[in-house]
């Protein structure tokens, strides 16, 4: 089937016409004005609550300001500082590790569970509910709960190890730079894998059963059916899931705040925890604003690059 | 049913009008004073409430409206937001030191010098109240009325564990290290501390550093007049390296919270716990029955340039808003609050009253009394870096000390790191 060209399609549905017939009527101009009038309330709200704070953050990012004194204009100084701030630079490496980890324990594991629990066999619905249940907990509650699980002296994990004679493996999980990030990633997976499972389950239900039957007739093994039928047809869902996971990873804060607060020794410091420390603990509002602008740009660029890369390969344009 | 007679209705209307008028006149005569603070509970909040109740009885035309906030929220954003608002509190809680200097410099805090000079009000306070060291003054002017002194670090110890291992309070740093080694060899965690937020160890590190390098150099370094990476500070940080080498701390030092570590100390998870005077009130509510504890000051460090018997601490108190429309009423309340009888009650609620004789007259816990004596006998008061100096500088210093105590960097490397970080501070 041949699709009409984009320009033709636009002209057929009446959008984006560049040329107006000579002597366009006043009524047409009034209609244009009406369109803008209808958009105006949303535009005003957007400007007030998004654009204005954004512009003000950009302004403060060029100042030294403690929240009380008059802001002092310092030009690019905060950005130079951000570049030279080893903890800030490290926070991006840390969040990269966190995102990579969550792609495995949230998206990949969620996909695995979706495939395993997709059946309508007895008890599977209950297991799906069970697997999804951590999603109903708030992140702060989950973080606090797991802090007790990981506690060095009385935590469930170490007590369990001691109970089975593996006391030597008992470890201060959140106090050791080598294990703290892993411990947070595990909790993140526990919390969100169920969410991605539901997304993948919905997509799985849309795959026609006839494709699997055809593959079976061709002698495909279950693994081959997964690799050659399921995965390709889940591609668009996977793209969305990865995007959600990556952008969500950059926005992560509450879990880190409650479990490690960026410690030990910045081992789990991520951009958001560092921004909060700078802006509110140390009263460096100007520097905090600069770090926020940097983060906004980084997340924007990463998201855009990802969307462009995936669109080129998979989007159907017409 | 009969309609009410017209006369009754008229009487009712008159009575209603009179009530409204009296109410309006009374409301006009009552002045409301807002007091922002961080007392969200505990014995001292109860005592404060009772004092306010008594004040309302004694001064029916002045009402006190409390604005209590969680301490961290208050410190991070709460007070700043209130001070920036069009309606700042008339009175607010503050930590002595850098924040008082800030409030005075920006014109938020009222100069209280002349008010305290009236009728000998200022003379009713301990002499230690009026110094830049305690953080109540800026130059020769008083901007904060202290309501309590706090010793921010002493070494609390579990007396049962000490007795079990035949240990007694150390006089010198070497004796202290011997105790640490003895306990570690016996399989006991010598010092339990939660340093997730850096200040618990940082406060102690500040004290040790001031003892070794002397107050003058300590003050200059934290004021960014001289670098940290120099032999005197390396000598001070060597003390933390010794603690790291002796495995003095709990394994989860870096990730444990301050209150969790105090709870663990109460449970006997460690022999010593370096923290401030507020442990006493926590012990009342959280320590198990029969928990026996005592405290000693940081032991004398041989060869140190600072006062060997110094203590680390500060004053906390109230500031009055320079924008308050009711300064006289605010002062009336503060005078009432700091009157002798109420300060005795305040001391009995666990606070170290700055009013002359209040601690002696109060029926207080033996530990509180001991700390009060320690405070009053000290020749030198070291300000905690996070209240005596800008918090950003203190935080970097704290992290440097923690890196050494955690065995992650040598003293020289940690000091170089501190200077590198401070170079980024404007």
3-state secondary structure chain B: CCCCCHHHHHHHHHHHHHHHHHHHHHHHHCEEEEEEECCCCCHHHHHHHHHHHHHHHHCCCEEEEEEECCHHHHHHHHHHHHHHCCCCCCEEEEECCHHHHHHHHCCCECCCHHHHHHHHCHHHECHHHCCCCCCCEECCEECCEEEEEEECCEEEEEHHHHHHCCCCCCCEHHHHHHHHHHHHHCCCCCECCCCCCCHHHHHHHHHHHHHHHCHHHHHHHHCCCCCCCCHHHHHHHHHHHHHHHCCCECCCCCCCCHHHHHHHHHCCCCCEEEECCCHHHHHHHHCCCCCCEEEECCCECCCCCCCCCCEEEEEEEEEEECCCCCHHHHHHHHHHHCCHHHHHHHHHCCCECCECCHHHHCCCCHHHHHHHHHHHHCCCEECCHHHHCCHHHHHHHHHHHHHHHCCCCCHHHHHHHHHHHHCCCC
Shortest alpha-carbon distance between residue B262 and chain A (Å): 13
Tokens of B82: 């209130």
Is A314's pLDDT higher than 70?
no
For residue A141 the two structure tokens come to 């509650």
**For the residues A121-130, what does the mean pLDDT come to?**
87
Cβ of B251 within 8 Å of Cβ of A175? The answer is: yes
> Tell me, what's the pLDDT at A6?
46
The domain limits of chain B are: 33-151+314-377, 154-312+383-423
- B408 contacts on A by Cβ (under 8 Å): 265
d(CA B71, CA B316): 13
Q: Which CATH code, of 3.40.190.10, 3.40.50.300, 3.40.50.280, 3.30.420.40, is assigned to B154-312+383-423?
A: 3.40.190.10
Residue A2 has pLDDT above 60, yes or no: no
pLDDT-based confidence at A21, cuts 50/70/90? low
Cα B176 from chain centroid (whole Å): 26
Please tell me the distance from the alpha carbon of residue B133 to that of residue A204, in angstroms, as a whole number: 70
Is residue B252 within 8 A of residue A174, CB to CB? The reply is yes
The answer to whether B351 touches B147, Cβ cutoff 8 Å, is yes
Higher-confidence residue: A101 or A263?
A101
- Pairing type for strands B154-158 and B145-151 reads unpaired
Q: In terms of C-beta density within 10 A (0-12 exposed, 13-18 middle, 19 or more buried), how is residue B419 classed?
A: middle
- Return the residue matching tokens 């935080």: B395
pLDDT at position A47: 93
Q: Are strands B137-138 and B62-68 parallel, antiparallel or unpaired?
A: unpaired
Query: How confident is the model over A79-95, as pLDDT tens digits?
Result: 999 999 999 999 999 99
Give the dihedral sign, CA B134/B138/B142/B146.
negative
Contact B406 A284 (CB under 8 A): no
Residue B365 · residue B71 · CB < 8 Å = no
A-chain residue closest to B402, CA distance: A265
Residue count of chain B: 426
Asked, for residue A219, whether it belongs to a domain, the answer is yes
Architecture of the domain delimited by B33-151+314-377: 3-Layer(aba) Sandwich (3.40)
Mean pLDDT, range A283-297, rounded to an integer: 95
Looking at residue B397, its pLDDT comes to: 96
Q: Which of B408, B424, B426 has its CB closest to that of A64?
A: B426
**Overall average pLDDT of the A219-239 stretch:** 91
Average pLDDT across chain A, whole number: 88
pLDDT beneath 70: ranges in chain B? 1-9, 11, 15-28
pTM: predicted TM-score of the whole model, two decimal places: 0.83
B199-213 vs B391-405: helix axis angle to the nearest 10? Answer: 90
Q: Which of B76, B84, B252 sits opposite A172 (nearest CB)?
A: B252
Question: Of B104, B254, B255, which to mutate for an interface test with A (greatest number of A Cβ within 10 Å)?
Answer: B255
By CB neighbour count within 10 A (0-12 exposed, 13-18 middle, 19+ buried), where does A166 fall? exposed
Query: Does the pLDDT value for residue A15 go beyond 50?
Result: no
Best interface-test mutation with B: which of A69, A86, A175 has the largest number of B CBs within 10 A? A175
Which residue from A minimizes the CA distance to B392? A282
Dihedral (Cα; B285, B289, B294, B295), 10-degree rounding: -30
Predicted local distance difference test score (pLDDT) of residue B20:
63
Q: What confidence category does residue A13 fall into, taking pLDDT thresholds of 50, 70 and 90? A: very low
With a CB-CB cutoff of 8 Å, which residues 182-241 of chain B face chain A?
196-197
Q: Would you say how long chain A is, in residues?
A: 318
Evaluate the omega torsion of the peptide bond into residue A264 and state whether it is cis, within 30 degrees of 0. yes
- Across-strand partners of B316? B95, B148
Note whether residue A284 is domain-resident.
Answer: no
Residue A110 C-alpha, separation from nearest chain B C-alpha, in angstroms: 30
> CB contact, 8 Å: B7 with chain A?
no
**CATH code for the domain in which residue A184 is found:** 1.10.3720.10
CB pairs under 8 A between A and B: 67
Contacts of A68 in chain B (CB under 8 A): 80, 83-84, 102, 106
Q: Are B322 and B107 contacting, i.e. CB atoms less than 8 angstroms apart?
A: yes
- A81 contact residues in B (CB cutoff 8 A): 424, 426
How far apart (Å, rounded) are the C-alpha atoms in residues B142 and A225?
80
- Provide the pLDDT for residue A11: 45
Residue of A nearest to B403 (CA): A265
Contact B392 A283 (CB under 8 A): yes
B382 touches B215 (CB < 8 A): yes
Report the gap between the CA of B392 and the closest CA in chain A (Å). 5
Asked if residues B297 and B163 have their Cβ atoms less than 8 Å apart, the reply is: no
B300 min Cα distance to partner chain A (Å): 30
Tell me the shortest Cα–Cα distance from B220 to chain A, in angstroms. Answer: 20
Does the structure show a pLDDT above 70 at A22?
no
Closest residue in B to A286 (Cα) is B426
CB neighbours of A126 closer than 8 A, spacing ≥ 6?
none
- Residue B39 half-sphere exposure toward CB, CA atoms < 13 A: 23
Phi/psi for B33 (5° steps) reads -115, 125
Confidence (pLDDT) at B113: 96
Is there a domain that residue A131 lies in?
yes
In terms of residue numbers, what domain contains A239? 97-268
Let me know: does B410 contact B121? Beta carbons within 8 Å: no
**Torsion sign across C-alpha atoms B55, B56, B57, B60:** positive
Burial class (CB in 10 A: 0-12, 13-18, 19+), A304: exposed
Chain A hits for B403, Cβ within 8 Å? 265
* In-domain check, residue A2: no
Angle between helix A124-132 and helix A180-205 axes, rounded to 10 deg: 140
- The runs of H, that is alpha helices, within A47-179 are 52-60, 77-84, 86-102, 109-116, 124-132, 139-150, 156-163
Q: Which residues of A fall within a CB distance of 8 Å from B266?
A: none
């Amino acid at each position: 089937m041949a699709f009409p060209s984009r320009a033709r399609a636009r002209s057929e549905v009446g959008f984006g016409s560049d040329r107006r017939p000579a002597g366009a009527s006043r009524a047409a101009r009034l209609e244009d004005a009406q369109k803008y009038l209808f958009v105006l309330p949303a535009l005003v709200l957007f400007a007030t609550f998004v654009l204005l704070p954004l512009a003000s953050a950009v302004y403060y990012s060029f100042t030294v300001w403690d929240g009380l004194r008059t802001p002092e204009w310092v030009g690019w100084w905060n950005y130079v500082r951000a570049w030279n701030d080893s903890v800030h630079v490290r926070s991006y490496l840390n969040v990269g590790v966190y995102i990579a980890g969550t792609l495995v324990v949230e998206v990949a594991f969620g996909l695995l569970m979706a495939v395993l629990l997709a059946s309508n066999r007895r008890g599977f619905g209950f297991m799906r509910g069970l697997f999804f249940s951590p999603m109903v907990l708030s992140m702060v509650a989950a973080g606090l709960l797991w802090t007790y699980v990981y506690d060095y002296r009385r935590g469930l994990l170490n007590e369990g190890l001691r109970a089975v004679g593996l006391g030597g493996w008992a470890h201060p999980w959140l106090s050791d730079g080598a294990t703290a990030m892993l411990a947070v990633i595990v909790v993140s997976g526990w919390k969100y894998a169920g969410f991605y499972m539901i997304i993948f389950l919905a997509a799985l239900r849309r795959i026609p059963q006839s494709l699997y039957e055809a593959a079976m007739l061709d002698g495909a093994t279950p693994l081959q059916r997964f690799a050659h039928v399921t995965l390709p047809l889940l591609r668009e869902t996977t793209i969305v899931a990865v995007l959600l996971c990556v952008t969500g990873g950059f926005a992560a804060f509450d879990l880190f705040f409650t479990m490690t607060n960026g410690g030990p020794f910045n081992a789990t410091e991520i951009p958001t925890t560092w921004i909060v420390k700078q802006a509110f603990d140390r009263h460096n509002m100007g520097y905090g604003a600069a770090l926020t602008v940097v983060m906004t740009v980084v997340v924007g660029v990463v998201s855009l690059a990802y969307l462009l890369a995936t669109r080129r390969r998979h989007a159907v344009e017409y | 049913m009969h309609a009410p007679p017209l006369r009754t209705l008229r009487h009712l209307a008159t009575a209603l009008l009179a009530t409204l008028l009296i109410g309006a006149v009374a409301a006009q005569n009552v002045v409301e004073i807002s007091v922002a603070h961080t007392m969200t509970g505990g014995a001292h909040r109860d005592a404060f409430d009772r004092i306010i109740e008594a004040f309302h009885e004694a001064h029916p035309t002045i009402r006190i409206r409390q604005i209590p906030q969680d301490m961290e929220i208050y410190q991070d954003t709460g007070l700043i937001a209130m001070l920036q608002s069009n309606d700042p509190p008339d009175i607010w809680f503050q930590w002595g030191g850098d924040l008082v200097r800030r409030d005075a410099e920006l014109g938020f805090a009222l100069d209280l010098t002349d008010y305290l000079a009236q009728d000998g009000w200022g003379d009713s306070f301990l002499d230690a109240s009026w110094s830049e060291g305690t953080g109540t003054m800026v130059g020769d002017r008083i901007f904060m009325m202290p309501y309590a002194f706090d010793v921010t670090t002493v070494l609390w110890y579990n007396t049962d564990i000490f007795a079990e291992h035949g240990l007694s309070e150390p006089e010198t740093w070497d004796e202290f290290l011997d105790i640490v080694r003895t306990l570690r060899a016996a399989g006991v965690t010598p010092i339990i501390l939660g340093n997730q937020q850096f200040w618990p160890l940082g406060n102690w590190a500040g004290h040790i550093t001031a003892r070794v390098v002397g107050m003058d150099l300590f003050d200059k370094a934290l004021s960014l007049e001289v670098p940290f990476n120099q032999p005197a500070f390396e000598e001070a940080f060597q003390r933390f390296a010794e603690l790291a080498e002796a495995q003095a701390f709990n394994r989860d030092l870096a990730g444990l919270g301050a209150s969790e570590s105090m709870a663990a100390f109460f449970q006997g998870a460690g022999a010593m716990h370096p923290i401030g005077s507020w442990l006493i009130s926590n012990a009342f509510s959280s320590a198990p029955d029969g928990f026996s504890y005592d405290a000693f000051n940081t032991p004398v460090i041989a060869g140190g340039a600072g006062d060997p018997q110094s203590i680390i601490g500060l004053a906390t108190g109230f500031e009055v808003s320079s924008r308050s429309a009711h300064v006289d009423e605010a002062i009336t309340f503060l005078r009432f609050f700091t009157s002798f009888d109420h300060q005795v009650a305040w001391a009995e609620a666990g606070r170290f009253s700055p009013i002359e004789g209040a601690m002696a007259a109060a029926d207080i816990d033996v530990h509180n009394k001991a700390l009060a004596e320690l405070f009053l006998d000290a020749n030198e008061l070291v300000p905690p870096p996070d209240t005596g100096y800008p918090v950003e500088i203190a935080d970097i210093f704290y992290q440097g000390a923690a890196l050494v105590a955690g065995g992650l960097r040598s003293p020289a490397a940690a000091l170089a790191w501190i200077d590198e970080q401070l170079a980024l501070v404007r």
